Amino acid sequence: MDPLGDSLSKVEILEVMGNDLTVVNAARVSFHKESKEMCEADAKLIRYLAKHKHVTPFFHPQIRLRIKMPIFVAREWYRHQIGFARNEVSRRYVDFEPEVYAPKELRARDPKLKQGSKPESVENNNRLALAMSVSLNSQCLMYNILLNENVAPEVARMVLPQSMYTEFIETGSLAAYARLCQLRLDPTAQKEIQQYAEAVSKLLQDKFPVSWAALMAEPA
Ligand SMILES: Cc1cc2nc3c(=O)[nH]c(=O)nc-3n(C[C@H](O)[C@H](O)[C@H](O)COP(=O)(O)OP(=O)(O)OC[C@H]3O[C@@H](n4cnc5c(N)ncnc54)[C@H](O)[C@@H]3O)c2cc1C
């Protein structure tokens, strides 16, 4: 999936451990019982668990994703820590050409909100978007100049912008992803992180239809 729609952003499933039945059987072990195939009683049990915050059965399914997102989004994404493991590309070790997210629509400040933005772009959108893109490219150019002058990658990276893409592998439990998505699908969250949460949500809805619907129906 390409959450930002610029052909560089990415959310991709690498591995999924478990399914809706994993949640059911983690709960049914309390009674030393096991379901072999999902039935309506199992779906009901999942909804009961989600509604009453019996969250541990949702810890068992694990999902591994490869995600490519701008650093300003990753800064927020990484605040969700419990239930996740992450490993990320390091610009101490690599010095390949940086890729940046250059938005085409520059949302205007909303005077009614302390944070966030209006859905509409600023008046001089095209001119400013071009200027922003030029500025981002010039920072990448400076990075290459520093590297060519033998500056170490860990030092040269200091000029790179917050909208530079980073890439990481993330493993999280179904419960952890549900919490992250609920918080970041909220309209008060930054639009770009909402777009990533939307992408993850679609992928997990497909893999865990009953559990995902049940978890997302309850407040975080
Ligand atoms: C719309 C929005 C705006 C935000 N704005 C800001 C901001 O302006 N500044 C800012 O710094 N952050 C901001 N955040 C980040 C926010 O404060 C959280 O860090 C982030 O949402 C992750 O929360 P989490 O509960 O999923 O974290 P996790 O660390 O993944 O924790 C998950 C849960 O584990 C438990 N837990 C974790 N750590 C502890 C602990 N030490 N003690 C007890 N229980 C614990 C809690 O129940 C917690 O909810 C914002 C988040 C959102 C969604």
Protein residue whose Cα sits closest to atom 53 of ligand 1: 183
- Asked if the model's pLDDT at residue 117 lies above 80, the reply is yes
- Asked if the model's pLDDT at residue 81 lies above 80, the reply is yes
Distance in Å, CA 184 to ligand 1 centroid: 11
First to last CA, the chain: 25
H-helix segments, the chain: 20-28, 40-51, 71-77, 125-148, 153-156, 174-184, 191-207, 209-217
Distance in Å, CA 186 to ligand 1 centroid: 14
| Three-class secondary structure of residue 33 per DSSP | coil
Which of 91, 90, 22 lies closest to 60, judged by CA? 22
- Asked if the model's pLDDT at residue 129 lies above 90, the reply is yes
186 pocket-lining for ligand 1 (C-beta < 6 Å)? yes
Ligand 1 pocket, mutate which of 82, 171, 200 (most atoms under 8 A from CB) = 82
43 pocket-lining for ligand 1 (C-beta < 6 Å)? no
**CA angle, corner 170, sides to 167 and 171, nearest 5?**
165
The 10s digit of each residue's pLDDT in 62-76 is: 999 999 999 999 999
80 pocket-lining for ligand 1 (C-beta < 6 Å)? yes
Which listed residue (91, 157, 179, 184) is catalytic?
184
* Residue 69, phi then psi, degrees to nearest 5: -145, 155
Residue-averaged pLDDT of the chain: 96
91-to-88, 96, 143 alpha-carbon distances in Å: 10, 9, 11
79 pocket-lining for ligand 1 (C-beta < 6 Å)? yes
Active site residue 127: no
pTM for this model (two decimals): 0.96
Confidence at residue 219, expressed as pLDDT on a 0 to 100 scale: 80
Residue 112's pLDDT band, with cuts at 50, 70 and 90, is confident
The 10s digit of each residue's pLDDT in 6-34 is: 999 999 999 999 999 999 999 999 989 99
Protein residue whose Cα sits closest to atom 6 of ligand 1: 76
- Asked if the model's pLDDT at residue 220 lies above 80, the reply is no
157 pocket-lining for ligand 1 (C-beta < 6 Å)? no
User: Locate tokens 């992408």: which residue?
Assistant: 199
How far apart CA 135 and CA 71 sit, in angstroms, is 17
82 pocket-lining for ligand 1 (C-beta < 6 Å)? yes
